[in-house]
Amino acid sequence: MESAIFGLIGVAFGAYLSAFKERWAELRREDKETEYLTVQISSELELFAARCAGVVKDDGKVDEDGLRKPQLPDPKFDPMQLEGVDWKVLPVDSMYEILDIPFKLEIANQQVLAVAAGKNPDDYNINVYTEKTSPWELVESEQGEIISQTPIANVYLESASINNAKASDVTMTVYSVRYNIDCLAAKNSKIDNGKKYTGDELAAREVQRVARLIRNILQSAVYRRLNYGGIFNNRSVSGITMFQPQFGVSPAQHTVGCRIVYTADITEFSPEYEAPILDLIQGESTRGDDGKVLFDITFPEEYVNSFKGPQFGIAGIRKIMNIYNRPLIGCIAKPKLGLTATEHAKLAYRVFIGGVDILKDDENLTDLTFDHFEKRAHFTIHLAKKAERETGQKKMCVLNVTAPPQEMLKRTRLVKKLGGKAVMVDIVSVGLDNVQMLRSENLGLIIHGHRAGHSMFTKDPKHGMSMLVLAKLSRLAGIDQLHTGTVVGKMEGEQKEILAINRFLKSKWYKIKPVLPIASGGLHPGMMPKLYRIFGQDVIFNFGGGIHGHPAGSLAGAQAARQALEAVLRKKTLKAYSKNHLELKQAMEHWE
């Protein structure tokens, strides 16, 4: 009996010890997580502080109107965009202070505007809280002592109901929400110019002024303190009422309140589905006399981040190709129609051996009786791998999978099965919803976007949308590489417009990865210095006839293009470099 009791005690103690060890290990993990998060957030805050310091030191620059304009942008800090942060691990006070920074920035911007308008910036200093049960206790004690004369606002959610008429069971939820924002101010009585003003009168005036300010902030943008993501629609201030705060049954002596009732419809998209690209567009025409052209467009952050965007982006493409410090050289198989699958693959092999990084199908090469897609994919990927073994360099076949959705998906899966790296889609032909579908499959393939047919709606000054808008929509949909124009060559466009598109594609856009632009159409090796000077290194230079039209054939054309790029990277003229590179010399003589 005694041994049984001690046995039970041993089992219980063993279980307790095991649980204690697990809890101890959990605490140690939490400590490590806290330490890691502290370093991560501290570094972000230091960067933010450095940007603030930069703004302080910015003396501005006098413009043509004689006004001094700042040269640095306002510093931004959005803690909700920090990836991998478990806020619950941090101390509550620290978490609140960090999450409160965006509102403090908002108030700081209001104070800057006040100074510019000749007003007192202190009038725009407000302390904001969320979900406080008795917020007036922060400005006045129960004994009637004023704790703070800085006005406060307390934001809390009163109700949220699902709008079944607008919602979808699968793709999205539409909430009709109602918030109350209680503005509070406490003031002492004072005499000004011989006239006495009571504290409650001064507090009432102050709280009304604060309510007007907060109303303007709420209506100007999606307000982050409302703790909802998604897209805000039909937002409005539906009521403003004054009230007297209470301490139990006794009214506050110095504090007056003003309640703002704020309503909105909020659309949240399911993580399993992406937002429709074109349904919520609002744009403004900036060209055209009689008609309207959608020249540019902006989206709210929540909308942008509801999309997957490119799977790889520029950094991912460079990692796959193991090319980091130069443009990529692409080549289009020519003639665009007429080669058999075997001839196409052999052509790819020749240009790969010559130094080309990418060989792509032309936009109208899909599945033909003399060049079936399946055979072309098998043969071309096989010879691309052979070229990789022989050169020690990565090679990419971009196979055109443009087709009705199910066939497009079938072809894409074949490319993946064969070990390919990329597929191409004609984005105008298949539509952006099918680009989204392809991206959502997460097949681990680079998606190369061809824009064939875009001129139907991007070139008419009285109809359609600009190429910049199409580029933005393509980036949302998940394109990794996109044709944008060359400035020179047969697909040349206005340099300012093309560079604006490229800048956007390569820029930071919330959580969406950047896109690698493609310059393609009418290029030859002799244009390389100008191309590099205009576009820099984050670009694909795509050659067709400029490689295949070489007097010595496609292999020599590929070598000439690679030699021209080498000359530019080594800061040598093509003429000087061609003295020891026959293929480049022949190309220059042929095209100049």
Query: Which residues form the catalytic set?
Result: 334, 450
Helix axes 528-535, 554-569, angle to 10 degrees: 50
CA 555 to each of CA 129, 335, 549: distance values in angstroms, whole numbers, following the listed order: 69, 15, 10
Ordered alpha helix ranges (H), 333-481: 341-354, 373-391, 405-417, 427-430, 432-440, 455-458, 467-477
State the Cα torsion 43-45-46-47 to the nearest 10°.
90
Distance, in Å, from the CA atom of 218 to the CA atom of 121, rounded to the nearest integer, reads 20
What six digits make up the tokens of 500? 């604006």
In three-state secondary structure terms, 445 is coil
DSSP 278-345: STT----B-S-SSS--B------HHHHTTS---SSHHHHHHHHHT--SSPEEEEE-SSSSS--HHHHH
* Surface-to-core class of residue 100, CB atoms within 10 Å of its CB (0-12 exposed, 13-18 middle, 19+ buried): middle
Number of helices (H), then strands (E), in the chain: 19, 19
What six digits make up the tokens of 278? 């074109």
Which segments within 56-171 are labelled E, that is strand? 61-62, 68-69, 127-130, 152-162
CA 352 to each of CA 45, 59, 329, 480: distance values in angstroms, whole numbers, following the listed order: 47, 53, 10, 22
Beta-carbon-side half-sphere exposure of residue 223 (alpha carbons within 13 Å)? 25
- Taking only Cα atoms into account, the Rg of the chain, rounded to an integer number of angstroms, comes to 32
466 close to 284: Cβ distance less than 8 angstroms: no
What six digits make up the tokens of 428? 């105008």
Considering Cα of 339, then 343, then 348, then 354, what sign does the dihedral take?
A: negative
What six digits make up the tokens of 401? 């999978």
Distance, in Å, from the CA atom of 226 to the CA atom of 108, rounded to the nearest integer, reads 19
